[in-house]
Structure 1
Amino acid sequence: MINDVKQSAEQKMHKSLEALKVDLGKVRTGRAHTGILDHVQVEYYGSLVPISQVAAISLADARTITVQPWEKNMAGKIEKAIRDSDLGLNPSANGDVIRVPMPPLTEERRKDLIKVVRGEAEGAKVAVRNVRRDANDALKKLLKDKEIGEDEERRAQDEIQKLTDKFVAEIDKTLQAKEADLMAV
């Protein structure tokens, strides 16, 4: 029973960490990466679909993404979808290839992005702490129902606290790496 509680807590904490990494991947640095366009939706025969379903996305160089539509008539729609997205990008069509240059980040914009990143990390820490609280509540319920002893409950709570500390440290490490990436010119 205790192992089930610990295992469940560890899985949930791991999911919180993975969700943070996905969210941080969406925060753009000065370098180009194809994941930036993941949430851009393009109208394709009356329905909105992700850009990756109507075009090949690749990197031309460190600061330029190229988008090559599979159907020539989609180039204009893809260009418009990228321009209208909240990413602040300015694509330009070059024949049947759309080039998306990444503008350099200003110092002010970098600081704003760091605030966003820190907020995401704090949200992940709160999620991990909530998992700890739920696991401790489950242990207290087991103790109350006389399924485990007080010593077992205390030992399990210590292990869950160590697990929490481990994941909070991992979140901090991920945050520091992203901040360093944002501040790199």
Structure 2
Amino acid sequence: MISDIKKTTEQKMAKSVETLKADLAKVRTGRAHAGLLDHIRVDYYGTPTPLSQVASINLVDARTIGVNPYEKKMGAVIEKAIRESDLGLNPSSQGDLIRVPMPSLTEERRRDLTKVVKAESEGGRVAVRNIRRDALAQFKDMVKAKTLSEDEERRAQEDIQKMTDRFIQEIDKMLAVKEAELMAV
């Protein structure tokens, strides 16, 4: 029973860290990467569809993403979806290929993005702590129901705390890497 709770807690914490990693990847740095356009949805015959399902996405060079639609008539729709996204990108068509240049970041924009990254990572820390709180509450309920001794509860709490510390440390490392990436010129 205790091992099930620990295992579930660890899985939930890992999932929270993965979600944070995906959210941090969306925060734009000066370099281009194909994952930047992952969350963009395109109107494909009336259905919002992920961009990766209607076009191939690749890097043209270090500062340009190339989007090649599978259907020629989707070019204008894809271009509009990228332009209207919250990424602040301005795509341009060159024949079938849509080029998405990454504008260089100003110092002020870098500071703003650093604040966004810090807020995202704090959200990740809060999620991990909430998962810890839920696990500890389960242990308390088990003690009340007399299915767990207080010594076992204390050991389980220590294990959960170590797990929490490990995941929060991982979040802090991800934050430091992303901040360094943002502030690099």
- Tell me which interval the TM-score lies in, with the shorter structure as reference length: over 0.9
Distance 1:99 1:50 in 2: 18
Tell me which residue corresponds to 2:170: 170
Tell me which residue corresponds to 2:70: 70
Distance 1:119 1:80 in 2: 29
Alignment of 1:86-125 (within 5 A): 86-125=86-125
CA positional deviation for 1:57: 0.8
Alignment of 1:8-27 (within 5 A): 8-27=8-27
Alignment of 1:110-149 (within 5 A): 110-149=110-149
Distance 2:71 2:78 in 1: 11
Aligned length: 185
The DSSP-based 3-state class of the residue aligned with 1:48 is: strand
Does residue 55 of the first structure (1) align with residue 55 of the second (2)?
Answer: yes
The residue identity in structure 2 corresponding to 1:95 is G
Please, which runs of 5 or more residues in structure 1 have no aligned partner?
none
Tell me which residue corresponds to 1:42: 42
Distance 1:99 1:114 in 2: 27
CA positional deviation for 1:98: 0.9
Report percent identity of matched pairs: 66
Distance 1:60 1:22 in 2: 23
Task: Please give the per-residue CA displacement for 1:124-165, whole angstroms capped at 9, x wherever unaligned.
Answer: 111111111111111111111111211111111111111111
Tell me which residue corresponds to 1:5: 5
Q: Which moved more, 1:46-55 or 1:156-165?
A: 46-55
The DSSP-based 3-state class of the residue aligned with 2:58 is: strand
The residue identity in structure 2 corresponding to 1:102 is M
CA positional deviation for 1:69: 1.1
The residue identity in structure 2 corresponding to 1:57 is I
Distance 2:161 2:16 in 1: 16
The DSSP-based 3-state class of the residue aligned with 1:148 is: coil
Distance 1:2 1:169 in 2: 24
The residue identity in structure 2 corresponding to 1:122 is E
Alignment of 1:143-158 (within 5 A): 143-158=143-158
Distance 2:133 2:41 in 1: 38
Task: Please give the per-residue CA displacement for 1:89-121, whole angstroms capped at 9, x wherever unaligned.
Answer: 111111111111000011111111111111111
